[in-house]
Structure 1
Amino acid sequence: MYIRSLKVRDLRAVASARLELLHPGRVDGRSGADGTLPRPRFDNVNLILGVNGAGKSTLLDGIALGVLSPIIAQAGFRPHFLIRRGPLEKHADRATLDIDMVVHRQDGLKKGSEARRRVATSVERRGDVERIVGYDDSHPIWEGMFSEESPAFLIVGYGATRRVESSANVDTAARSRARQLRYERVASLFEEQFTLRPLTSWLPEWSSRNPGRHKQVVNLINRLSGEDVRFTGVLERGEYVFRTKRTDVPFSALSDGYKAFIGWVGDLLYHVCMGCPKGMKLVDNKGVVLVDEIDLHIHPKWQRTIIPTLARALPNMQFVFTSHSPLVVGTLERANIHLIETNRLGRPVLRRPDEEIYGLSADQILRSDVFGLESTRDPSFKAHLDALSGEAAIGDREAAMTFMRQVAQGQGAALPEEPSEPPEWVRRLAARST
């Protein structure tokens, strides 16, 4: 299953929006509604950008709710404040989600390699109670959604507060009773306290149950984790050991960045493993992966490679990310990027960047229309530089020299012991001002 588009109305802060998504194998409209942009390097990646409160997380929630609505209301999820609220007289009574999706043989399709399905979901309010009204699930194509062992309709989501449950606290039976599996896969998008399954809760049994699949998981984690940490697949005192440049450490002793990343990747591989048909490689599974704040706790060095690594390692997964990092943005082309902006009426508007992004520096991206910053410097220091520039423009040689030093070296630039001659451009500027 892949998502072609999502249309939202009156969901949380989003009054109305339409999101066109890339997915593996999409030909028409591959780069947007008009299909005019060139094909990007990664046709399985979508990145949503916008200021805080613009509605990025809401769009991820909308995808999950729209796909899983036939079962999500009975799966442990209680809708709360999903319907957009404005001034009392402008309260909406319902929110709507319209999804255009592609289904495959993995989803139970009997004929052909793929087919399109359009489904509509609503969230309705009665008094203080909200309830989800799912789409008609009577067609045989939806049967796989009601089987926990089925590989059909794989959609997994990870919220910005994601964290892994302690190995000592895992109670698999209690987790199964609390939430239906398909809702559990997206629960961290909606529940801040929700914890992900640790590797130790499911991977050890695969070493004997299916050694080949166990090896695939170990190899995938290593491929995704980068060069600075390696997953050994070895258990010591109930914890998996990871090899860093300096020493071997248990999962609990890894940095927050590695724990956050390996935590959701391990959880994702659990859900892929559980439904993967016998004889199929894990990387051949199709599905949708939603990740809020993909750069969470990630060092800038890693931010420059994290999305390309995921896209290449899992080429049949459709990814939808959000981020605030220019280093993450710079690894993609504008065909992969969706900007959420607020119009003069305060409503979100989705569009692609006006200029190509791939290959620009972080500073250039921050000052492009993607982030729209006038400068990346501290506002007070920029005002100080502007003042020096103004003084230099009217012939103040000392201000010109100070400006150059501080532009190049920051506020800590040392004054020379003896004044030196200013460069030719400063002398010409001073001459024109006199």
Structure 2
Amino acid sequence: MASLTAVANLLEKGRGPRPGAAPRHQDRRTGQQTLVFPSRPRILAAAAVAGPKEAQGPLGAYWDRTYPDRLLGQRSWEHAERRMCLDAAVLALEKAGLEPADIDLHLAGDLMNQLTCANFTAAELDIPFLGLFAACATWAAALGLGAALADAGYAGRVLCTTSSHHDAAERQYRFPTELGNQRPATAQWTATGAAAAVLAATPGPGPGDGPAERRATAGRASPRPAAGQAGRPPAADAAADRPARGRPGRWVSVTHATFGRVIDMGLTDPFDMGSAMAPAAADTIRQHLADTGRRPGDYDLIVTGDLARYGHRLLVELLREQGYDAEGVLADCGIMLYDASQGVYAGGSGTACSGMVTAGYLLRRMQQGDLRRVLLVCTGCLHSTTTYKQGDTLPTVAHAVALEVEDAAPADGRPVAGDGRGTPAGGTAPGAPARDPSGEAASRGNGS
């Protein structure tokens, strides 16, 4: 790779104001790439399901359901991934007290050719559907687009789902796991799991609290998760459910989305995707901070999707080159998901990696009040099985969404006063995870 200074200079190219590019809706855009959501769309409920390796990791207690093996009793790994995606969706809907007919739009994506798992899940749910592909950045793309549609009034409630499966991804992108191919230390382990979240811009009590809040669902049967595989989450689950059912608690809102541009640094090694994606993550984080006028310390955590250990270290240096010292607040889902002793090489990856950590861990920590403001920056390597075998480079992208806690409004419906974080300016939320340069401390010593 070129020197860090050369990379930083490349990322700065074209960053000045673009003539004629002034946004028409100043209340919904800020800067060059960041959308602002005045209605602060809420995450009504979220769910994460996990495979056996993920269940044994540091966040194992936070999953809504775990599975004893990677086949889930299905006839193929691809069918197993479809089962997980449907289970996560149904669990999120049940937490929100909703049926599929209560959802206006389903946004989903995965790593399989033609979004196989998302398509089959959408067929089961029977909700109007848009398939998305941004590789491992798909989760943030879905949350950001879903929040935009909800904020603008085009969709009252949006279901976002994503999934990945280690063995299915290995078969498609590399080699069947049965071959036991050796890998370098920079390689990553594709997460086996799925995540789902229900977004809504409607203020006031949660959905399902009265007949006026529910559309008729006669003749529409809700799909059910597979029997015999339930594994209830820890006591935090009760707190996570409270806002969705209209009881006092804390809401997590999507307040901003910064959709990134595609960055191609000329790298060609698909076994070092973390290094390839780090410049895209740096570019999106830098642009988000510039657009919003914030500093890294304004967030309790800035969490990347799956840079893993090598990409994470590179990101710290790239941001420093651009004038941002974010070392104390940066963490990475690919590092948080596994313990180093699990043999995952540099860390986790996959479309489900950031989705699982968000839906299973981060949102619960936010609803408990431990974290008040989080910037989730999902990273994606946009190569295909064809392009890298032809020696092409690895184009990458990173999409960011800002998640902020707001306490439940009083009976008059007025928002609670405050800075959106519940902490003094520049302060740290009570109980926030300890921070260190590796990002690993964000997942340890916090009940995981």
Range class of TM-score, shorter chain: under 0.3
* Larger Rg over CA atoms: 1
Give the alignment's TM-score, normalised by structure 1. 0.27
